[in-house]
Structure 1
Amino acid sequence: MSDAPVIIEEVACGRLKVGRLTLNVPKTLNSLTLPMVDMLQQQLDSWRVDPDIAAVFIDGSGEKAFCAGGDVQALHRSATATPGGPCVEAETFFAREYRMNHTLHTYPKPIVCWGHGIVMGGGLGVMAGCSHRVVTEATRIAMPEITIALFPDVGGSWFLNHMPGKAGLFLALTGASMNAADAVFTGIADRFICSEHKSAVLEQLRRSNWTGDAGTDHAQVRHVLRPFTEQSIGSMPGGQVEPHLSLINSLCDGDDIHQVVDNIVNQQTSDPWLSKARDGLAHGSPLAALWISRQLDETRHSSLREVFQAELLLATNVVRYPEFAEGVRALLLDKDRNPAWQYRSTRDVPEALLDSFFQAPWPENPLADL
C-alpha cells in the first residue's frame, strides 16, 4: 500500500478504465487535510476530461472510517493564530473543500462512494456529493458541528434541506447519529450493501462494459449495484429517523427557533437515541444553534452554487469568532467537555451579533466563479 494520503489508481476495464480514489490516513480516520482536498480536486478535474475514464470509485483505508471529517485541529490553529481574522489557512481550506464538494455534486461521470464506517463532517460532504452512494452495516453518520460551534457545512445546507419533514433541522441542531437505514431514508445515501460484498462490487465494476457515454455508464453502475443491494436487504439495521419522524416534526414545530430549542431540550424521554440528541443540543453552543437554524432557513430555496457560496460566507465569519476555537478546545484539545459558551441560551444572543455572521467579510466571494 502507498503511504500517500490519497491513493490514486486507474483500473483497466476492457478498453476503458475506472478511476479509484482511496482516502489513506487511517490513523486519523482519513480526516481531510488541505493537501488531500487538492489531490481529490486535481484528479477529479483530470478524469472529467479523460475519455479513457468511464467512472470513479471513492473509498477509505481501514475498517473504521470512510472519513471522519476535516482536520479541525488545523482549523483551530488558524483561528487562534489570528483572532478576528483573516484566518488564511482555515478560510483557504473551506474554500477549496467546498469547491471540491461542488465538483462532486456536478460531476458528469458516475462516482461510486463506498461509505463504510464513520462518515462525518468533510467525509459526509464527499459522500453526499457522489452520484452513487453506498452505505454498509458499519456506517455511522453524524453532523455534531453544534458541539464545536460550527455548522453542518460541505453542502449540508443543501442535503439537510432536502430531507423529509423537519429531519434536517433536527439532525443539524442535535448532532444525532444515523446508520445506513437513516442515510437511505433521508436521501444522503442511495443503497445499502453489506461490506463483505465490496471486493465483488469492485470486480463487477472492473468487468463492466463501459461505453464512455455518461448516461449509459450511470445505468451500468446501477446494474452492477442492484443485485448486491437485493442480497443485502435482510441485513439492513433498523433506523431511527423514520420511526421518530412524526415526533421530530412536532418538536421542530415552534413559533421561532427559541421554542424549537426549548421543545427538544425539555423533552422527557427514556428513548436512548432521542436522549442523546437532546443532550447534544443542550450541551452545544446556543449561538451555533441560531446560525445553524438561520443558515438552513436562508438557503431553503437556494441553488447548489448559492449554497456553497453562503456556506463559505458563514464559515469564514464563524472561524474568525472565538466561539469556534473554544468549542474545539473543550471537545478535541483539552477534552474537558466544558466549553465556556458566550451565551447561556439562544434568547441571550443579540440579534445584531447573529446578523453579523451573515454579512460578507470580503468584497467578492471566493466561490463566485462556481
Structure 2
Amino acid sequence: MTTSPDDEATVIIRTVGALGRIELNKPKAINALSTDMVQTIDRALRQWATDTQVAAVLITGRGERGLCAGGDIKAIHRDLTEGANAGNMTFWADEYAMNHLIAEYPKPYVAILDGITMGGGVGVSVHGSHRLVTETTKVGMPETGIGLFPDVGGTYLLAQLPSEVGMYMGLTGQPVGPGAAIAYGLADTYIDRDRIPELVEALEAEAFAVDTVIARFAEEAPENELSVAEGWIAACFSADSVVEIIDRLRQHPNEDAQKTAELLGTKSPRSLAVTFEMIRTAKDMKLEEVLERDLRAASEIGRRPDLTEGIRAQVIDKDRNPQWDPPTLAGITEDEIRAILDTEQERTVFP
C-alpha cells in the first residue's frame, strides 16, 4: 500500500520505504477518533500485516497538543440523543477489534505518545509493541468523568499495574506523565520531543531495524511523579468497594488522598461501580474477553442517562456540572452492575 498524503484526510495512510505510516489528522480535536478513522486504520493494518514490503508500522498525531484525546464523544452524544445508538455500536465494535489487532500485531508497532494520549488514544498506542513517550506525555483513561468506563481494553491494561495504581487511574481518570508511564509499564522508551522528526526519518530509512533506531534516540526517563503517592494509593485503593475506597481516602492523613476523595465525588457513581468491578476481574481475563465485555457494557451504559449527561456537561454545554442519575453510589445495585457487564448483545467484537 503506497498512497500519496491527503492533507484533508482525517487519517493519512502511506508507506515510506518499508515503514507503514499512520498519521492522525484532526489536530483541532486532538485527533479524536471517528468510525471512519478507525476503519481506515484497521484496513491499513490488515493489509500491511501480510505485506512483505512493510517491516514495521508507526502511528503519530498531527498538531502540538497530543497523539489522540480519545473517541469523538460529540458524535457519540449526537447518536445517543437522536436514538441512533447503532452508530455508536458500530464505532465501539470496530474500535475494539482494531485494539485487539494492534495488541496481536505480527510486526513492530511503534506509537509516539506525544502530548495528550487518553481513552481511545491509549487504545491505538499502549496495546502496541513499542510505546515512546516525551516530556509532554499525559496518559490516562478519563471516562468515569463522562459516565463511561475505561474501554478499549483499558481495564485489562490497568489491572496489570502494580500498587493499585491501575484502580487509582481508572476511577479518578487522572493522567500520568512519562516517568510514571514507563515505571508502570504503559510505555517503554523516553525520547526528546524535539527529536521526533529525526526519529521518524530514521525509522523510515531503517524500518527493518526498529529496535536499533529507537535505542539511538532513547534517553533516561524522568522520575516517576506518582512514586510519592504510592503509599496512600495502595492503602486506599485496595479496598473491596468504591464506597470503602472513598472512606479510606477521607480518613487518610495525606491531603492529596483527601482531595482524591473529593474528586471521586464528581464522577458518575455508576461509572465508578462498573469500573471498579471491571478492573478487579480483568486480572483473570484475556484481552479478547475484556474487549467483548467492553462492548456489552458500552451498549448497556448507552441506554442509561449518565453517558449523555456526562458528555453534555463536558463538551456540549461545557458547564462541567453533570447531574448524575443516580447521584450517589447508594443508588447503584449489584444487579445493575451484573446487567451492564453480562447482558448479551446482538453485536459482538469478534463474530
TM-score (norm 2): 0.93
Alpha carbons of structure 1 residues 80 and 267: separation in structure 2 relative to 1, 3 Å: farther
Deviations 1:238-297 (A, max 9, x none): 3332332222110113243320132235556444xx566444312001111100011112
Matched to 1:366, the amino acid is: T
Deviation at 1:300, TM superposition (A): 1.9
Alignment match, 2:200: 202
Alignment match, 1:80: 81
Deviation at 1:54, TM superposition (A): 0.6
Residue 351 in structure 1 maps to residue 338 in structure 2: no
Separation in structure 2 between the aligned mates of residue 92 and residue 266 of structure 1, nearest angstrom? 44
* Residue 283 (structure 2) aligned to one of 293, 296, 300: 300
Residue 242 in structure 1 maps to residue 220 in structure 2: no
Alignment match, 1:331: 314
Separation in structure 1 between the aligned mates of residue 263 and residue 87 of structure 2, nearest angstrom? 29
Alpha carbons of structure 1 residues 276 and 199: separation in structure 2 relative to 1, 3 Å: farther
Alpha carbons of structure 1 residues 316 and 284: separation in structure 2 relative to 1, 3 Å: same
Matched to 1:224, the amino acid is: V
Matched to 1:46, the amino acid is: Q
Give 3-state SS (helix, strand or coil) of 2:126's partner: helix
Alpha carbons 2:241, 2:276 under 8 Å: kept? no
Alpha carbons of structure 1 residues 177 and 275: separation in structure 2 relative to 1, 3 Å: farther
Alignment match, 1:342: 325
Deviations 1:116-155 (A, max 9, x none): 0110111111111111000000111221111111001111
Structure 1 residue runs of 5 or longer lacking an equivalent are 211-219
Alpha carbons of structure 1 residues 174 and 302: separation in structure 2 relative to 1, 3 Å: same
Alignment match, 1:282: 265
Alignment match, 2:249: 264
Give 3-state SS (helix, strand or coil) of 1:112's partner: strand
Matched to 1:223, the amino acid is: T
Alignment match, 1:8: 13
Alignment match, 2:212: 223
TM-score (norm 1): 0.89
When structure 1 is superposed on structure 2, of 121-130 and 257-266 the one drifting more is 257-266
Alpha carbons of structure 1 residues 281 and 342: separation in structure 2 relative to 1, 3 Å: same
After superposition, where does 1:65-76 map in structure 2 within 5 Å?
Answer: 65-76=66-77
Alignment match, 1:315: 298
Matched to 2:228, the amino acid is: P
Alpha carbons of structure 1 residues 268 and 339: separation in structure 2 relative to 1, 3 Å: farther
Alpha carbons 2:39, 2:94 under 8 Å: kept? yes
Give 3-state SS (helix, strand or coil) of 1:128's partner: coil
* Residue 274 (structure 2) aligned to one of 282, 291, 301: 291
Residue 113 in structure 1 maps to residue 111 in structure 2: yes
Structure 2 residue runs of 5 or longer lacking an equivalent are 1-5
Deviations 1:6-39 (A, max 9, x none): 1112112xxxx11111000101110001110010
When structure 1 is superposed on structure 2, of 123-132 and 329-338 the one drifting more is 329-338
Alignment match, 1:45: 46
Separation in structure 2 between the aligned mates of residue 284 and residue 205 of structure 1, nearest angstrom? 41
Separation in structure 1 between the aligned mates of residue 207 and residue 271 of structure 2, nearest angstrom? 49
Give 3-state SS (helix, strand or coil) of 1:343's partner: coil
Residue 184 in structure 1 maps to residue 166 in structure 2: no
Give 3-state SS (helix, strand or coil) of 1:188's partner: coil
Alignment match, 2:350: 368
Alpha carbons of structure 1 residues 311 and 282: separation in structure 2 relative to 1, 3 Å: same
Matched to 1:5, the amino acid is: T
Give 3-state SS (helix, strand or coil) of 1:58's partner: strand
Deviation at 1:203, TM superposition (A): 2.6
Count how many residue pairs are aligned between Structure 1 and Structure 2: 346
Alignment match, 1:215: none
Alpha carbons 1:91, 1:316 under 8 Å: kept? yes
* Residue 252 (structure 1) aligned to one of 224, 231, 237: 237
Alpha carbons 1:112, 1:130 under 8 Å: kept? yes
Deviations 1:289-315 (A, max 9, x none): 100011112322111111111111111
Give 3-state SS (helix, strand or coil) of 2:342's partner: coil
Quote the sequence identity (%). 34
TM-align CA RMSD: 1.8
Alpha carbons of structure 1 residues 265 and 177: separation in structure 2 relative to 1, 3 Å: farther
Deviation at 1:176, TM superposition (A): 1.3
Alpha carbons 1:162, 1:168 under 8 Å: kept? yes
Separation in structure 2 between the aligned mates of residue 78 and residue 209 of structure 1, nearest angstrom? 41
